[in-house]
Homo-oligomer: A and B are copies of this chain.
């Protein structure tokens, strides 16, 4: 018990060489069933639990680990069911590849104050940047310097990184067209953060010109693609219900109240919906509300959000496939997933 039993011990006990014992476990290479069972029996009596992963890893040069870099606080990152579902798909996907999932907090502050040392030192064969990596992210730089292959999700991709994303611009265009067809003309939008400075409130034109995060930018552009010019672009610092509620209160109690509000996430949209209920407004009678992501939010009952569904589970699996491709030495590619508009109970004809 004190000194862990090693493959050499097992080999000695079984009366074979270390290499043969190794073959008995790995199954690679020819070995007679007789010796194989002999080795396995010896392992059994010695309480040997299979080859030490550390030794195997060093020799093979592979850690068997995929580093998943999430936002600086897990609590904040995982408060959004979107992340969870993607992570779930990813986990099952890479598990079937025999890989483990290392969770790495990684602030992408370009000030590079203090980079999580794990990013630089932890053993990982591939890294997945789960949200909106920006090109100036120090995490990205550190990983690239280490030569770790990178999969970026919904961000801006650098040379040689794989990218997985959805058609969010198209999705938003669909919502815009849907609302226009219903006769809406005064449409406001509640957006995801433009930048990491935590700004909250209506964005002035100047702020709209340089948006750091791709997601907010693309989704806003999608709305414009439909020909919708939002009366107000209300920015939030995170995708949280309470921030949606705050935005909803502000937008819905203004004198020139919009007839429709499009939020860039379902969590924000549900906040807006709660604000509308709170103000005694009928949805969609007085105001239509649409979101993005296609989450299942039971506590919104009996309402069902009109939203753009993205295949979150599939997204995770696709990330897993990208990981496998990179490990196999294939060239990194960009894959874009389809989305679909699903009309719920929260959008209807514009009030006359």
Q: Which residues of A contact B (CB under 8 A)?
A: 1, 4, 47, 49-50, 53-55, 57-58, 61, 63-65, 73-75, 78-79, 81, 84-85, 87-88, 91-92, 95, 98, 100-105, 116-118, 120-123, 145-147, 240-242, 245, 270-271, 274, 278, 298-302
Contacts and interface: CB of A to CB of B under 8 A. Distances in A.
A84 B74 CA distance: 7
Contacts of A274: 299, 301
The 7 closest A-B pairs by CB, nearest first: A75-B88, A53-B123, A242-B298, A74-B88, A78-B84, A58-B58, A101-B103
B301 A278 contact: yes
Nearest to A117: B98
Contacts of A147: 1, 4, 49
Given A50-B121, A98-B121, 7 more contacts: A53-B121, A64-B122, A73-B88, A98-B117, A100-B104, A102-B103, A299-B299
Contact of A91 (B87, B103, B301): B103
A304 to B, nearest CB: 13
Contacts of A49: 120, 145-147
Given A4-B147, A54-B57, A54-B58, A74 B87 contact: yes
B57 A123 contact: yes
A322 B50 CA distance: 27
B102 A118 contact: no
Contact of A241 (B63, B73, B299): B299
B74 A241 contact: no
A300 B300 CA distance: 10
Nearest to A62: B54
Given A79-B84, A245-B301, A298-B240, A118 B145 contact: no
Contacts of A104: 100-101
A103 B105 contact: no
Contacts of A270: 299
A142 B212 CA distance: 47
A118 B105 contact: no
A265 to B, nearest CB: 14
18 contacts: A1-B147, A47-B145, A49-B147, A53-B63, A63-B123, A64-B121, A64-B123, A74-B91, A75-B85, A78-B84, A78-B87, A78-B88, A79-B84, A100-B118, A101-B103, A103-B103, A241-B299, A242-B298
Nearest to A240: B298
Nearest to A73: B88
Nearest to A64: B122
Contacts of A54: 54, 57-58, 61, 63, 123
Given A53-B123, A145-B49, A102 B278 contact: no
Contacts of A65: 102
Contacts of A145: 47, 49
A319 to B, nearest CB: 14
Q: Which of A122, A240, A245, A302 has the most CB of B within 10 A?
A: A122
Contact of A120 (B50, B91, B118, B299): B50
Contacts of A57: 54, 57-58, 123
Nearest to A75: B88
A85 B102 CA distance: 18
